[in-house]
Amino acid sequence: MNLNIDAIKSITYDAIVVGSGVSGGYAAKELTEKGMRTLVLDRGKQMEHITGYEPSYKDPWDFKYNGLLTQEQKASHPKLSRDYPYNEMTEKYWMNDSDSLYKEEKRFDWFRPNIVGGKSIMWGRQTYRLSDLDFEANLKDGIAVDWPIRYADIAPWYSYVEKHVGISGEALGLPHLPDSEFLKPMDMYCVEKEVRKRIEKNFPGRHMTIGRVANLSEAKQAQLGIGRSACQYRNKCRLGCPYGAYFSTQSCTLPPAAKTGLLTLRPDSLVSEIIYDAQKQRAKGVRVIDTVTHEVKEYYAKVIFVCGSTVSTTALLLNSKSNRFQNGFGNDSGELGHNLMDHHFKIGASGTWEGDEDKYYIGRRANGIYIPRYRNIGNDKRDYLRGFGYQGSGSRQGWNRGIGDLSFGPDYKDSMTRPGPWSMALSGFGETLPYHENKMYLDPNTKDKWGLPVVVFDAEFKENERKMRKDIMNDAGEMLEAAGLKNVKAYDNGSYPGMAIHEMGTARMGRDPKTSVLNGHNQVHACKNVFVTDGAAMTSTSCVNPSLTYMALTARAADFAVKEIKKKNL
């Protein structure tokens, strides 16, 4: 009967993209622009650009608790409420803990968005290129496996995405932190300008620059043409930007994808399984659970991009079992779920700055400063591998500075209405090594409300990270003291995997199918029409914020996939 053929046609696409965050959105843009009818599936609720960012339109007095969590929210979100991303203002952007069950053999803070666009709405927007210092690291150190690509392979793709995304920053010409295609850099506070001079003078080889950030310090035609405009310096990015002034799926990748007329986006669509066709030895499509009705549907395509965010991506692969893949999709190596990584952070120093009382600022810069990695570079050799960078910021203390003081009344009130002293803080982000034993797996005996096995985490920071943290803390204090800050305090607030929300690895790229899940094109070694281009693909973490690399890898893989389809190799 024709009916069946039509029915299959209507659920058959050229490409399926699982997830609509940084990577999934980029895959959708690239695939549709190359003429592919593309279905994007996201488990989250629809989040309309501009009108969906309701909290971003509110004034402080519109919030009941000025952002604090209630006891009720803490009780319903015991894990998510462990840290700042979940608060009164972002309540509807994240999943309920009860919908997001997971187990911890060791503590892991898993932040799962519940919206189309995923974490591209709430991300920190810091954007840095990896370099050959990173791509060659595993090989040189003789650990884990070698990256199957080098900087030269990805450099043109960094440039390609950066011109579209719009990255504000300053060119430094450092080989180990390659420059992006920059929009003009944001300004520094007076204290930052002076601290920069003094750090660079006192510590040759160290640099301080303004953060490289996916916010439009100026809007060029590439951005204006898709309805974006320049940053208004409200610093409400994490609530969604009605100006489209930072990179998100909604502002940056969905509009051009939609413009092709080839995009279908389905929210509330939880992908439970990749369907393997044993005869054709390729993936046939995906099985989807409607998160609201629990109805199960199937969709088919020539090529599947899995971009669900590291842990969800690998959970999907592990859950996709068949005779061919009895231990999870593409898991011939046994490495699927292993080498789970995140940056370690929450460590640094801060101090107060005497002077510049006659200086102030206008605007709220949603960006800080950055000190690129300088450890284990050139002749510097430490008792640990790899290195770290610092994010930081100067600031002038405001009306909340006197809360702990012994004061009240008219003098207290009036002094709070005048700006306080300046200060400066540095906060390190360190590379974590890929350890085979740091892993996630599925617990078949515990199911979530959609009947899917829950994820179990068993990962920890180890000796290399602990040794590095000593340097991060001491160096931060030393640099601030040398720069003339007073009352310098170093701190280590402790760091658990997951909390940096830079989770990476678990389906790593590599040269050898026996020891890795993906090849140098992010293609599953054992099933060529499935690509994984999110953090799961990372072979090592570098110490820089990873999202820009996901965009570049995704654009590169999409280009490769479409060429392979045209060559009839896929």
Partner 1 sequence: MNINRREAVQRVAALMGGMISAPAMAGIMGQKTNQGTFVSFSAEQVDLIVAIADVIIPSTKTPGAKAAGAEKYILNVVQDCYTKAEQDTFYAGLVKIDADCKTKTGKGFVQATDVQKKEALTACMLEGDVARKAKKGPTPFFFMIKELATVGYFTSKIGATEALDYLPIPGKFDGCMPLDPKQKTWAL
Q: Tell me: does residue 273 bind partner 1 (CB under 8 A).
A: no
Q: Which stretch binds partner 1 (CB under 8 A): 4-12, 108-116, 195-203, 390-398?
A: 390-398
Chain CA centroid to CA 110, Å: 13
Residue 112 CB contacts under 8 Å (≥ 6 apart), including other chains: 94, 95, 100, 309, 312
126, 312, 395, 554: which one binds partner 1 (CB under 8 A): 395
Q: Tell me: does residue 425 bind partner 1 (CB under 8 A).
A: yes
Q: Which is nearer to partner 1, 22 or 490 (CB)?
A: 490
Q: What are phi and psi of 348, to 5 degrees?
A: 165, -145
Nearest residue to 53 via CA among 250, 221, 231: 250
Q: Tell me: does residue 198 bind partner 1 (CB under 8 A).
A: no
Q: Which is nearer to partner 1, 107 or 324 (CB)?
A: 107
Question: 361, exposed or middle or buried, with CB in 10 Å at 0-12, 13-18, 19+?
Answer: middle
Map the footprint of partner 1 across residues 470-509, applying CB under 8 A: 473-474, 477, 488-494
Q: Tell me: does residue 70 bind partner 1 (CB under 8 A).
A: yes
Tell me the C-alpha distance between 268 and 115, whole Å: 9
Tell me the C-alpha distance between 201 and 320, whole Å: 56
Measured from the CB of residue 182, what is the shortest distance to partner 1 in angstroms?
Answer: 16
Q: Which is nearer to partner 1, 295 or 414 (CB)?
A: 414
Nearest residue to 508 via CA among 330, 274, 320: 330
Q: Which is nearer to partner 1, 64 or 567 (CB)?
A: 64
Q: Which is nearer to partner 1, 413 or 436 (CB)?
A: 413
Measured from the CB of residue 233, what is the shortest distance to partner 1 in angstroms?
Answer: 4
Q: Are 100 and 457 in contact (CB under 8 A)?
A: no
Tell me the C-alpha distance between 19 and 27, whole Å: 10
Measured from the CB of residue 345, what is the shortest distance to partner 1 in angstroms?
Answer: 12
Measured from the CB of residue 389, what is the shortest distance to partner 1 in angstroms?
Answer: 18
If binding means CB under 8 A, how many residues of this protein chain bind partner 1? 79
Q: Which stretch binds partner 1 (CB under 8 A): 149-157, 402-410, 524-532, 559-567?
A: 402-410
Sign of dihedral through CA atoms 160, 161, 164, 167? negative
Q: In the chain, what's the furthest Cα-to-Cα distance?
A: 85
Q: What are phi and psi of 392, to 5 degrees?
A: -175, 180
Q: Are 431 and 387 in contact (CB under 8 A)?
A: yes
Q: Tell me: does residue 323 bind partner 1 (CB under 8 A).
A: no
Q: Tell me: does residue 60 bind partner 1 (CB under 8 A).
A: yes
Q: Which is nearer to partner 1, 235 or 264 (CB)?
A: 235
Q: What is the DSSP letter of 426?
A: E
Tell me the C-alpha distance between 76 and 384, whole Å: 40
Map the footprint of partner 1 across residues 354-373, applying CB under 8 A: 357-365
- Token output for 519: 């090849």
Map the footprint of partner 1 across residues 439-458, applying CB under 8 A: none
Q: Which is nearer to partner 1, 381 or 418 (CB)?
A: 418
Measured from the CB of residue 479, what is the shortest distance to partner 1 in angstroms?
Answer: 12
Give the residue carrying structure tokens 């690129």: 372
Q: Tell me: does residue 412 bind partner 1 (CB under 8 A).
A: yes
Q: Which is nearer to partner 1, 83 or 298 (CB)?
A: 83
Measured from the CB of residue 514, what is the shortest distance to partner 1 in angstroms?
Answer: 42
Q: Which is nearer to partner 1, 380 or 405 (CB)?
A: 405
Map the footprint of partner 1 across residues 77-116, applying CB under 8 A: 81-83
Q: Which stretch binds partner 1 (CB under 8 A): 53-61, 251-259, 459-467, 533-541?
A: 53-61
Measured from the CB of residue 363, what is the shortest distance to partner 1 in angstroms?
Answer: 3
Q: Which is nearer to partner 1, 357 or 437 (CB)?
A: 357
Give the residue carrying structure tokens 């590095």: 468
Q: Give DSSP secondary structure letters for 94-146.
A: B--GGGS-EEESS------B-BTTGGGTT---B-----HHHHTHHHHHT-S--
Q: Which stretch binds partner 1 (CB under 8 A): 320-328, 414-422, 511-519, 556-564?
A: 414-422
Q: Are 549 and 130 in contact (CB under 8 A)?
A: yes
Map the footprint of partner 1 across residues 157-196, applying CB under 8 A: 186-190, 192-193
Q: Which is nearer to partner 1, 5 or 362 (CB)?
A: 362
Q: Which stretch binds partner 1 (CB under 8 A): 2-10, 219-227, 396-404, 444-452?
A: 396-404
Q: Which is nearer to partner 1, 198 or 282 (CB)?
A: 198
Q: Tell me: does residue 393 bind partner 1 (CB under 8 A).
A: yes
Measured from the CB of residue 177, what is the shortest distance to partner 1 in angstroms?
Answer: 22
Give the residue carrying structure tokens 């046609």: 9
Tell me the C-alpha distance between 386 and 344, whole Å: 13
Q: What is the DSSP letter of 307?
A: -
Q: Which is nearer to partner 1, 253 or 495 (CB)?
A: 495
Give the residue carrying structure tokens 């799962």: 112
173, 204, 378, 404: which one binds partner 1 (CB under 8 A): 404
Q: Are 316 and 301 in contact (CB under 8 A)?
A: no
Map the footprint of partner 1 across residues 232-261, applying CB under 8 A: 232-235
92, 140, 294, 413: which one binds partner 1 (CB under 8 A): 413
Residue 11 CB contacts under 8 Å (≥ 6 apart), including other chains: 297, 298, 299, 300
Chain CA centroid to CA 351, Å: 29
Q: Tell me: does residue 56 bind partner 1 (CB under 8 A).
A: no
Q: Are 360 and 396 in contact (CB under 8 A)?
A: yes
Q: What is the DSSP letter of 384?
A: S
